[in-house]
Amino acid sequence: MTIIPAIDIIDGKCVRLTKGDYSQKTIYNKDPLEVALQFEDAGLQRLHLVDLDGAKAGDVKNWKVLEKIAGKTKLSIDFSGGISTQNNLEITFNSGATFASIGSIAVKDEFTFTGWLLAYGADKFIIGADVKEEQILIKGWTESTSLTVFELIDKYKLKGVKQFFCTDISKDGLLEGPSVDLYKKIINEHPSIDLIASGGVSTIKDLEELREVGCSGAIIGKAIYENKISLTDLKKFL
């Protein structure tokens, strides 16, 4: 199982939200590159970089942060937040992202996103499924939809997408443990995908549980910043 640390960006700073609430914001570091270098020094190879300003605006905003981290580290970066146009996508890849993590556009404009899959290759994309009670939320968790996580995976698995990350926003930022039962259910229904767990991870035991149920990766944010899990602790998963 791949450990993927998260850096969430607002106004160019490294922050964390609680349950996706922009009013519940904690700034952890004013320099995201410094944080990324710490992750790289610890032996981690992936990074989940989220442009929260972009997610809210529906337009990529913090691409300079992506460009800086991609230029100064060897981390494989998946970038998300506000990728809603061809121009946004080109900025994302030109700024150094390995993968584009797509949420809203995959839900709202299947035609456009399918075109991107054909143009760039499905292996360049990760579908981000943000869920509440198995229903998909979009636009930085501000808009609900009638689509379930299972329907979203069904649709894009057939189009060649392999990687999906799923965030249960009721767990996000609370350090109360991940949605293991939900992930188990998804993996049972879709054993061929690479499911990346996101939200709620607070202990090494949580990570061991996620590995046991078959998650291919786990995104960790607040647990690292709040010193619940140390970078040294994560070495057993490298």
Query: 63-107: per-residue pLDDT in tens?
Result: 999 999 999 999 999 999 989 999 999 999 999 999 999 988 999
Report domain extents, the chain: 2-237
In Å, how far from its chain's centre is CA 86?
A: 20
Query: Residues 6 or more apart from 41 whose CB is under 8 A from it?
Result: none
Query: pLDDT for 161-212, tens place per residue?
Result: 999 999 888 776 566 789 999 999 999 999 999 999 998 899 999 999 999 9
Most confident of 49-58, 115-124, 198-207, 227-236: 115-124
CATH code 3.40.50.150 for 2-237: no
pLDDT, position 152: 95
Neighbours of 38 (CB within 10 A): 14
What is the DSSP code (8-state) at residue 218?
A: E
User: How many other β-carbons are positioned within 10 Å of the β-carbon of residue 168?
Assistant: 22
Contact indicator for 190, 168 with CB cutoff of 8 Å: no
Residue 231 in this model has a pLDDT that exceeds 80: yes
- Report the predicted TM-score, pTM, of the whole model to 2 decimal places: 0.92
DSSP 99-166: EEEE-HHHHH-HHHHHHHHHHH-GGGEEEEEEEETTEEEETTTTEEEEEEHHHHHHHHHTTT--EEEE
* Catalytic residue status for 130: yes
User: Among the options 8, 53, 168, 172, which is catalytic?
Assistant: 8
Residues 76, 67 contacting (CB under 8 angstroms): no
| Separation of alpha carbons 127 and 152, rounded Å | 9
At 66 the pLDDT is: 98
> pLDDT tens digits for 54-68?
988 889 999 999 999
pLDDT at 141: 63
Measured torsion, CA atoms of residues 212, 75, 153, 114, in degrees rounded to the nearest 10: -160
Can 11 be counted among the known catalytic residues? no
In the chain, alpha helices (H):
32-41, 52-57, 63-72, 86-94, 104-108, 110-120, 149-157, 180-189, 204-213, 222-225
Of the chain, the percentage scoring pLDDT greater than 70 comes to: 95
List 51, 53, 78, 130, catalytic entry: 130
Residues whose CB falls within 8 Å of the CB of residue 129, separated by 6 or more in sequence, listed in order? 103, 136, 149, 152, 153, 164, 165, 166, 167
Query: Tokens 């992936």 — which residue?
Result: 46
pLDDT at residue 19 is higher than 70: no
